[in-house]
Structure 1
Amino acid sequence: MLAAGASVALLAAAAPQPAVPLGIGDRLFPHLGNPGYDVRSYDIAFTYRGDNSKPLDAVTKIDARATTWLDRVNLDFSHGTVRSVDVNGARADFATSAEDLIVTPPRSIAPGEPLHITVRHTSDPVPGKEEVGWVRTKDGLAMANQADAAHRVFPCNDHPADKAYFTFRVTAPKGYTAVANGLPVATSPTTRQGGATDWAYRTAHPMATELAQVSIGHSAVLHQKGPHGLPVRDVVPAGDVKALRPWLDKTPAQLAWMEQKVGRYPFENYGLLVARATTGFELETQTLSLFERELFLRPEYPEWYVESIMVHELAHQWFGDSVSPRTWSDLWLNEGHATWYEAQYAEEKARQPMKTRMREAYRASDAWRAAGGPPAAPRAPAHGEKISIFRPVVYDGSALVLYALRQEIGKDAFERLERRWVSTHRDSTATTEDFVALASRTAGRDLSDFFQAWLYGAKTPPMPGHPDWVSEKPQK
């Protein structure tokens, strides 16, 4: 992203407990996610009737496996009405509490047993108190689920620690185009009697719920090829094709540039989703990055700046999407790396010196740490402002850590580390501790003290190779 819930695991013989929302204990979002089961896949169907003021009818099917005894199963879900829930083919009781849907199956689920859940519900695009989820565009809808808004759209285990495969099925009126993460299934699209069209897409790689994307609108879908014949699919407002095509045509070369840096692109396709909406951010939804239309059409933005933002979201496909954070405190690994390659691209393609940018980041770093916490221990989000975790310290403040690391271990070792990181943890999740361990092995020496200071210190350590750099004291 570039900025502007739990299972009850009880023995079958235990006494019944109240149905309450729980969580997996994420430091920043303690009520997010659900222990007790592992989701393998989602199959989600939406029916859109062309009216952004009315809820969509939806069916969410979850294929999971229990990891402990379950008398109840908690799902993250809010901002919709649940009509019925089935568990393993039998009707189940359910209740809602806070942002949890709490399901009581007819019998307890044993560890290792399959858990097939079908929820018939609505999905409401009208904004509420929570942040994002569905984004209402000028001609339809798109999704922006970071950091924890996917459960505003569909029932799920809404934490990046539990990645799964996704299938999306969308029924939309005549004249609308629906797109989603991944590739179209063999039968997509099909036209119903009366003109409505069914669209279906499936991911070839596991995905975190925050990265899910479904767009419905009067869109043009443009196709080109990237490196190695990679399908590149762009989705843009139909009336903006001519104005946007010069920007879209830059993607194949940007893909090739990123592959030179960190290795083969990790997914089945890529492309830009350009939305007629004001969000205040761009977002790295997996295989289909979301961009505001105005980013490309405002004349005051230099070409190099727009291209570097495109590369930021592209870099996330490796850092954040393919290798996802185990906890939200590991966010610096996503945003620090995306900012790093954004800055490196600007340096190489537009002579915008990385050193200058990093020196400015160093100057502001102590203030950023005071305001938002150190990179790997960010402060919790402000009440009612969940996306406030996306602060400067996790962008340039975290890219600064990578700059210091390259200064410390040398360019060659740093570049080996980057490639090893994305290949070792591809299609999985990883932690800050994993990065520290791999960096130490790559450098051939223990870097624990280095990272402890740079990732967790209240003050910014001296920059290796630049003893003259100074970080200004935070203003009180």
Structure 2
Amino acid sequence: MPLLTRRLRAALLATASATLVAAALPAPEPLGIGDRLFPELGNPGYDVLAYDIAFTYHGSNTEPLDAVTKIRARTTAPLDRINLDFARGTVQGVEVNGQSVDFGSKREDLVLQAPRRLPAGVPLNITVRHTSDPNGSGDDGGWVRTADGLAMANQADAAHRVFPGNDHPSDKAYFTFRITAPHRLTAVAAGLPVEKTRHGSSTTWTYRTEHPMATELAQVSIGSSAVAHRTGPHGLPVRDVVPAADRKKLEPWLKKTPAHLEWMEQRVGRYPFETYGVLVADSPLGFALETQTLSLFGKSFFTEPAYPEWYVDSVMIHELAHQWFGNSVSPASWSDLWLNEGHASWYEARYAEENGGPALERRMREAYKLSDGWRADGGPPAHPEGPAPGQKLSLFRPVMYDGSALVLYALRQEIGEGAFDRLERTWVRVHRDSTATTADFTRLASGIAGRDLTAFFDGWLYGKKTPPMPGHPDWSSAKPA
């Protein structure tokens, strides 16, 4: 609907003046921050500092949740309107800096009329009362229905199908979650528990993050769950959330997490967050997801007898590695995704090699054979192709996984193991709790190597063809079909 102030709307109704109608504010339009792959994702003009999101779950995972999303932000440019990313919910009312405001929507943007023109550098407090609808979720993400409730799978561009916000990883913020559900259910979320309050037939669970988080990494789970607690390195609280009926069956896998944490810390440094654990959803998920502090897995991943132990362990390492690469150090744009998936695949492959899986060199040689085909199908690692007309973009192609781990293998071959290990540790330390770009990584690598690696990275990250592998002149890549 057009964005009209209440006073202006009253004047229009009173006068029925065509000239006043023509002078009314224009209809809402979607904006974006200019991401090459998601041009309408994210919003200009403000920086979100914190979210406070309250969900009320009524006991059915087909019924919309009642929700209130509070956003504490700061303007970075003068604003007459404020765009939020939001879809798949009904908005009942909005306040900006304590005043009710008019709002409209266009495509997947919720557009708010500011109560007055807001200059740059001032506080911006937004309250949106809305529903959060699990219906329609599927391959496009958002809420995931489980056998006993709901969980979230927001990557890459689906958090705004759950709650309004600035849905781009370049704008990380602190989160508080307040989940109200029937007594018989357990609610968990990213971060640490703050409070648990019973009232009537319901319980409200409150969780808060101690580190900033990208919207795509948010996690809330509601269901008939058991929460298993254990201790990780340096006294780190580890909590796993599993279907209550499967707790004993899953324990042999869950108890591995402290050792997995120690393995990663030996290679890249101390775990970057306040807690970690595994969320096992009773849902036919075809993927795992590195939601911050609580990685999401489908139950069948742990119960499928065809999966060898080393494989299950290595995928658990993949999601754990993301807590450093992708979560603590987040991509500044979605074209930087190779930094997330390449590193997670790299540590997955290294763990597999040490624990009964294929040798790293063998896996990388196989990836090299396929690399030209992967680049032809989806673009080079740091410049993935956009969507075909009318089709939803899928970023998560093979070139992002082993195709990007191959870049790291080539880099280690080029600069040596010692320099490579220093690069990895320095990268996650320097950019902790922030975002970073491919250019940041290549610049740091050159500094640690003590020489300009621009030509090396240009070929490996942006070339249509895979460059020769340092140290392996006999490796070849098959021609794309």
Residue 415 in 1 paired to residue 424 in 2? no
Displacement of 1:452 in angstroms is: 0.2
- Report the AA paired with residue 413 of structure 1: A
Alignment match of 1:293 (pick from 299, 307, 316)? 299
Displacement of 1:422 in angstroms is: 0.2
Displacement of 1:16 in angstroms is: 4.8
Structure 2 counterparts to residues 229-268 of structure 1, below 5 A: 229-268=235-274
Alignment match of 1:269 (pick from 257, 275, 284)? 275
- Report the AA paired with residue 64 of structure 1: A
CA contact (8 A) 1:131 1:385 kept: no
CA contact (8 A) 1:363 1:470 kept: yes
**Which secondary structure state, in structure 1, belongs to the residue aligned with residue 52 of structure 2?**
strand
Displacement of 1:355 in angstroms is: 0.2
In the alignment, the residues of structure 2 paired with residue 386 and residue 271 of structure 1 have an alpha-carbon distance, to the nearest angstrom, of 31
Unaligned runs of 5+ in 2: 1-22
Residues 205-260 of structure 1: CA deviation (Å, up to 9, x unaligned): 00000000000000000000000000000000000011100000000000000000
Displacement of 1:190 in angstroms is: 1.3
In the alignment, the residues of structure 2 paired with residue 253 and residue 150 of structure 1 have an alpha-carbon distance, to the nearest angstrom, of 31
RMSD between aligned residues? 1.3
In the alignment, the residues of structure 2 paired with residue 351 and residue 141 of structure 1 have an alpha-carbon distance, to the nearest angstrom, of 34
CA contact (8 A) 1:382 1:388 kept: no
Q: Which residue in the other structure is 2:211 paired with?
A: 205
In the alignment, the residues of structure 2 paired with residue 129 and residue 181 of structure 1 have an alpha-carbon distance, to the nearest angstrom, of 22
Displacement of 1:128 in angstroms is: 5.1
Alignment match of 2:197 (pick from 171, 181, 190)? 190
- Report the AA paired with residue 226 of structure 1: G
In the alignment, the residues of structure 2 paired with residue 72 and residue 130 of structure 1 have an alpha-carbon distance, to the nearest angstrom, of 32
CA contact (8 A) 1:171 1:197 kept: yes
Alignment match of 2:326 (pick from 299, 320, 325)? 320
Q: CA, structure 1 residues 309+383, in 2 after alignment: closer, same or farther (shift >3 Å)?
A: farther
Displacement of 1:106 in angstroms is: 1.5
Residue 26 in 1 paired to residue 32 in 2? no
Structure 2 counterparts to residues 159-178 of structure 1, below 5 A: 159-178=168-187
CA contact (8 A) 2:84 2:165 kept: yes
Q: Which residue in the other structure is 1:153 paired with?
A: 162
Displacement of 1:160 in angstroms is: 0.1
In the alignment, the residues of structure 1 paired with residue 390 and residue 297 of structure 2 have an alpha-carbon distance, to the nearest angstrom, of 24
Alignment match of 2:285 (pick from 266, 279, 286)? 279
Q: CA, structure 1 residues 96+204, in 2 after alignment: closer, same or farther (shift >3 Å)?
A: same
Residue 70 in 1 paired to residue 79 in 2? yes
When the two structures are superposed, what TM-score results if normalisation uses the length of structure 1? 0.95
Q: Which residue in the other structure is 1:92 paired with?
A: 101
Displacement of 1:384 in angstroms is: 6.8
In the alignment, the residues of structure 1 paired with residue 376 and residue 304 of structure 2 have an alpha-carbon distance, to the nearest angstrom, of 34
CA contact (8 A) 2:73 2:124 kept: yes
Residues 379-438 of structure 1: CA deviation (Å, up to 9, x unaligned): 114567646210000000000000000000000000000000000000000000000000
**Which secondary structure state, in structure 2, belongs to the residue aligned with residue 105 of structure 1?**
strand
Alignment match of 2:141 (pick from 101, 112, 132)? 132
In the alignment, the residues of structure 1 paired with residue 179 and residue 472 of structure 2 have an alpha-carbon distance, to the nearest angstrom, of 55
Q: Which residue in the other structure is 2:49 paired with?
A: 40
Residue 394 in 1 paired to residue 400 in 2? yes
Residues 434-453 of structure 1: CA deviation (Å, up to 9, x unaligned): 00000000000000000000
Unaligned runs of 5+ in 1: 1-13
Q: CA, structure 1 residues 129+418, in 2 after alignment: closer, same or farther (shift >3 Å)?
A: closer
In the alignment, the residues of structure 1 paired with residue 405 and residue 274 of structure 2 have an alpha-carbon distance, to the nearest angstrom, of 28
Displacement of 1:350 in angstroms is: 1.8
**Which secondary structure state, in structure 2, belongs to the residue aligned with residue 210 of structure 1?**
helix
**Which secondary structure state, in structure 2, belongs to the residue aligned with residue 464 of structure 1?**
coil
In the alignment, the residues of structure 2 paired with residue 444 and residue 218 of structure 1 have an alpha-carbon distance, to the nearest angstrom, of 55
Tell me the matched-pair count.
459
Q: Identity of aligned pairs, percent?
A: 70
Q: Which residue in the other structure is 1:10 paired with?
A: none
- Report the AA paired with residue 228 of structure 2: L
- Report the AA paired with residue 120 of structure 2: P
Q: CA, structure 1 residues 102+340, in 2 after alignment: closer, same or farther (shift >3 Å)?
A: same
In the alignment, the residues of structure 2 paired with residue 375 and residue 43 of structure 1 have an alpha-carbon distance, to the nearest angstrom, of 35
CA contact (8 A) 1:79 1:128 kept: no
**Which secondary structure state, in structure 1, belongs to the residue aligned with residue 148 of structure 2?**
coil
Q: Which has the larger radius of gyration?
A: 2
Query: Which aligned runs of 4 or more in structure 1 are off by greater than 4 angstroms?
Result: 14-17, 382-387
In the alignment, the residues of structure 2 paired with residue 268 and residue 35 of structure 1 have an alpha-carbon distance, to the nearest angstrom, of 30
In the alignment, the residues of structure 2 paired with residue 272 and residue 441 of structure 1 have an alpha-carbon distance, to the nearest angstrom, of 37
1 or 2 for the larger relative contact order (CA 8 Å, sep ≥6)?
A: 1
Q: Which residue in the other structure is 1:3 paired with?
A: none
CA contact (8 A) 1:130 1:384 kept: no
In the alignment, the residues of structure 2 paired with residue 50 and residue 143 of structure 1 have an alpha-carbon distance, to the nearest angstrom, of 16
Q: Which residue in the other structure is 1:9 paired with?
A: none
In the alignment, the residues of structure 2 paired with residue 351 and residue 275 of structure 1 have an alpha-carbon distance, to the nearest angstrom, of 26
In the alignment, the residues of structure 1 paired with residue 370 and residue 358 of structure 2 have an alpha-carbon distance, to the nearest angstrom, of 19
Alignment match of 1:307 (pick from 313, 328, 349)? 313
